[in-house]
Amino acid sequence: MVKKGKTSKKSANISKGIIFSFFIIYLLVFGGIISGFSSALQIADPAGFPIFITYIPLLCYIGSLFCGFGFLIFIRNATARKSRETQSRKKIKSGSMYKQALFLLIFIFSFIPLFSPAIDRGENTQHFSVYNPNWNGASDFKRIIENDGYDVMTVQSSLSATERLINTTINGNIKRSILLILMGPNQFYDPIFEIPYFITFFAESNSLLILHDFGSTSTLLWEIMLASVFDPSIQVPVTIFPDGVLRDNGSYAPDATTDFPIIKNFNAHPTTTYPNIISDVILSVSSCAVGGEFITAFGWDPIGSTTGYAFIDKNENKMYDSPEDDLNLGFMSFFSDLLPLPFPSTFPLGGYSQYVFLAKDMGTGKPRLFVSADASLFNNELIDHPSYDNTQFAINIIEWLTHVNDPGDTRPIEEKKGEWVIVFDEAHIRPEISRDLTSAGIFGFVMQYIVHLSTNPITAWIYPLLALYTLRKYLPKKDKKKEERKIAEEEEKKEEKARFRTSSFFAQKIEEFRDKNKYGEALKLLYRRLERKLNAQLQGQKITTKNVIDLVVAKDPSITKLKIKRLSKFMDKIISLKEGKLKVRTEEEFEELFFEMGWTVENM
């Protein structure tokens, strides 16, 4: 008679095995096909290539791996009946499921930043990234700085990561300074974290280079101004970068449009005269600093400006239309009642020279700041242009911000450059349309929150508690057997002391010397046995602590330092006692030396 139960169960197991095998093979093959397709598409259309496609093979391989583990578990359960029955009787706790899900989530977040570079090979196509070798990257800017003799680093997570560099030293006595370069950032600077950072940053002799590109630099300058409220020594003026493109009908590239203005008007300043004299600098789709002639009243040192035919074009008709192209000052109308004259509703952005380069020196040995209304002048497309001085201008700015050409410092310039670290902020450069799914972007995203939460006083206490709760199962536990042995040894010592106190030998000696307090004489008498043994082994040498230690080490080279220290301490005391330099006045001191003498005899 056919047993339907066994047959159906066996058929179900076979079906499950086939399904597991199918998904393992399918995911591996599909991942390989998508990997080849993404490589071909990236070569054919690198600009329009969606970065998320490179992670589909990774998901397929991870899915195949999980299917493989599931298949192995299924085989084990199918072939071990007893194990399967035991497993079926166990009650699954909901708490353990949540804990497993938490560990799986931690595992994914921990290992994806480590393994993702194997998928995208660490390539970076972000605008103004120093790792982007394309026309819109800044790899040439990084190379020029390195060739000038500086150490260059980048930040992928949080600006507070540079604080460890501020506290580093050279040769143990010279603190290193930081030149932080914010090149075309387009991500929001969180004031909760950035204001405390810049308070610390400007408290040291660090410098800041801001290269604006219609991003978040205007907000950052306001945050730095708020930081000056808590620290008046921070003297960073505020400026506004308006929307719209800067056009200069009086000076622009002959082979381009007015979107590429050429700056020829430079004021006398170290950044324009040393070590290179600057005459022509080309920009690309730039902005400007609002203020005109009022820039100096704000506290800035104006460095470079356009011709008088420049203007901001907001409606993109390549003409200056007022008031459409002007800056809206509607937010200032709230203060119009406090001013003696009516305040205008707009500020003109045409009809006069527009400043594009500003500088601020806070004093000798103090921070310096340089602001450019355009970041594209230092990208790979323009920085090496042979017709313009963009490369020389970049070198001038870097050397002025790092104080290496200050006239009062006569040290070698290489030594002064070694005191600085040039740091590019890559954490606030992200794709303008989608999330950053590159390996560097994922790593920075994860580390940013870890750094923020672990350095914030409000949330820092959560980390040790979370780590203790989740990892206490894997932490080393006390050895119960070792603890039991230790307790047994202590009990044995107590019993030995009790036996010693009640023995006839101890009773006779104590009764004999108790009335006269001659514990030292008793110890000298007991020491004679050990003394005879030492004289026989030292063969005529004087009994000293050093000679005894040398004898013991020669007999047993593997003796521990703890035993040597204990033996030295006893010999010093017993020799001092015999020479009359040490007095034993209490019964406790007598017992201690007596036990140490017995231990010494056993270890000789």
Burial 546-564 (b: 16+ CB within 10 A, else e): eebbebbeeeeeeeeeeee
Apex CA 215: angle with CA 202 and CA 224, to 5°? 20
Which of 433, 453, 484 represents a domain boundary (last residue)? Answer: 433
Q: How far apart are CA 184 and CA 396, in angstroms?
A: 20
Indicate if 55 and 167 belong to the same structural domain.
no
Confidence of residue 122 (pLDDT cuts 50, 70, 90): low
pLDDT number for residue 373 = 95
Which of 20, 55, 84 represents a domain boundary (last residue)? Answer: 84
Residues 392-442: tens digit of each pLDDT: 999 999 999 999 988 888 889 998 998 999 999 988 887 765 566 676 677
pLDDT number for residue 67 = 81
Instruction: Classify residue 150: in a domain, yes or no.
Output: yes
Its domain, for residue 31, covers 11-84
Indicate if 316 and 177 belong to the same structural domain.
yes
Q: What is the mean pLDDT of residues 585-589?
A: 79
Q: How far apart are CA 89 and CA 81, in angstroms?
A: 12
Instruction: Classify residue 184: in a domain, yes or no.
Output: yes
Least confident of 176-190, 356-370, 461-475: 461-475
- Do residues 27 and 63 touch, judged by C-beta distance below 8 A? yes
- Do residues 242 and 327 touch, judged by C-beta distance below 8 A? yes
Following CA atoms 303, 309, 313, 318 in sequence, which dihedral angle do they give, to the nearest 10 degrees? -140
DSSP single-letter state for residue 115: H
Indicate if 256 and 171 belong to the same structural domain.
yes
Indicate if 195 and 299 belong to the same structural domain.
yes
Q: How far apart are CA 496 and CA 502, in angstroms?
A: 10
User: Residue 374: which of 241, 250, 280 has the closest Cα?
Assistant: 241
Indicate if 411 and 548 belong to the same structural domain.
no
Q: Which has more confidence, 198 or 529?
A: 198
Cβ-proximal residues to 365 (8 Å cutoff; 6+ apart), any chain:
205, 403
Confidence of residue 513 (pLDDT cuts 50, 70, 90): low
Residues 278-304: tens digit of each pLDDT: 999 999 999 999 887 778 888 899 999
Which of 385, 407, 433 represents a domain boundary (last residue)? Answer: 433
Confidence of residue 9 (pLDDT cuts 50, 70, 90): low
Instruction: Classify residue 193: in a domain, yes or no.
Output: yes
pTM over 0.95: no
Indicate if 34 and 165 belong to the same structural domain.
no
Instruction: Classify residue 256: in a domain, yes or no.
Output: yes
Indicate if 69 and 182 belong to the same structural domain.
no
pLDDT number for residue 250 = 92
Indicate if 289 and 174 belong to the same structural domain.
yes
- Do residues 143 and 149 touch, judged by C-beta distance below 8 A? no
Number of domains in the chain: 3
Instruction: Classify residue 490: in a domain, yes or no.
Output: no
pLDDT number for residue 43 = 62
pLDDT number for residue 436 = 67
Instruction: Classify residue 411: in a domain, yes or no.
Output: yes
Residues 228-271: tens digit of each pLDDT: 877 887 888 888 899 899 999 999 988 777 789 999 999 999 99
- Provide the CA 385 distance to its chain's centre, in angstroms: 36
Q: What is the CA radius of gyration of the chain?
A: 39
Confidence of residue 100 (pLDDT cuts 50, 70, 90): low
Indicate if 370 and 292 belong to the same structural domain.
yes
Indicate if 425 and 547 belong to the same structural domain.
no
Q: What is the mean pLDDT of residues 457-478?
A: 68
Phi, psi of 430 (to 5 degrees): -135, 165
Examine the pLDDT at 5 and tell me if it is beyond 50.
Answer: no
Examine the pLDDT at 91 and tell me if it is beyond 50.
Answer: no
Mean confidence (pLDDT) of the chain: 79
pLDDT number for residue 2 = 44
pLDDT number for residue 503 = 52
Instruction: Classify residue 397: in a domain, yes or no.
Output: yes
Indicate if 69 and 161 belong to the same structural domain.
no
Q: Which has more confidence, 540 or 93?
A: 540
Q: How far apart are CA 347 and CA 337, in angstroms?
A: 18
Upper half-sphere CA count for residue 545 (Cβ side, 13 Å): 13
Apex CA 346: angle with CA 341 and CA 349, to 5°? 120
Find which of 81-85, 154-158, 412-416 is predicted with most confidence, using mean pLDDT: 412-416
Indicate if 78 and 161 belong to the same structural domain.
no
Instruction: Classify residue 349: in a domain, yes or no.
Output: yes
